[in-house]
Amino acid sequence: MLKFLKQVGDYAKETVQAARYIGQGISVTFDHMQRRPITVQYPYEKLIPSERYRGRIHFEFDKCIACEVCVRVCPINLPVVDYEFDKATKKKNLKHYSIDFGVCIFCANCIEYCPTNCLSATEEYE
């Protein structure tokens, strides 16, 4: 008889423990149900980027002096600077500047080290 009562007592303890675990799980579920949604419906709603967001790089052709500092500080040597050297004025004349955004890691080293500030980060992410 004592063995039977011990088994019933153990069964009751396990039942209470299982109910406690179920209650903890349900409380977590209800907690998550009360939270605001984290994601947005992208094409219809757009997030406002933070101040420190580094988006697409904007280039101003007129300010560039073709110094190639951006190429030297880029960890993957990504910017392509095409220029002609004018022997009469002893200056570089910029012909073409490009950055492949499919490869760019958006570290913003080129923006930070540009001496003429011809590069800037935009809030554009599309």
Write out the H or E segment, with its range, that includes residue 72. Answer: helix 69-73
Q: Which two tokens stand for residue 26?
A: 């349900």
Residue 1 has pLDDT above 80, yes or no: no
First-residue to last-residue Cα distance in the chain: 75
pLDDT tens-place string over residues 41-80:
888 888 888 888 888 999 999 999 999 999 999 999 999 9
What is the residue whose two structure tokens read 């063995």? 3
Write out the H or E segment, with its range, that includes residue 113. Answer: helix 109-113
pLDDT tens-place string over residues 88-97:
998 999 999 9
Write out the H or E segment, with its range, that includes residue 23. Answer: helix 2-34
Q: Where are the domains of the chain?
A: 1-35, 57-121
Q: How far is CA 124 from CA 62, 96, 102, 121, in A?
A: 22, 22, 15, 8
Flag whether the pTM goes above 0.85.
Answer: no
Q: Which CATH architecture has domain 57-121?
A: 2-Layer Sandwich (3.30)
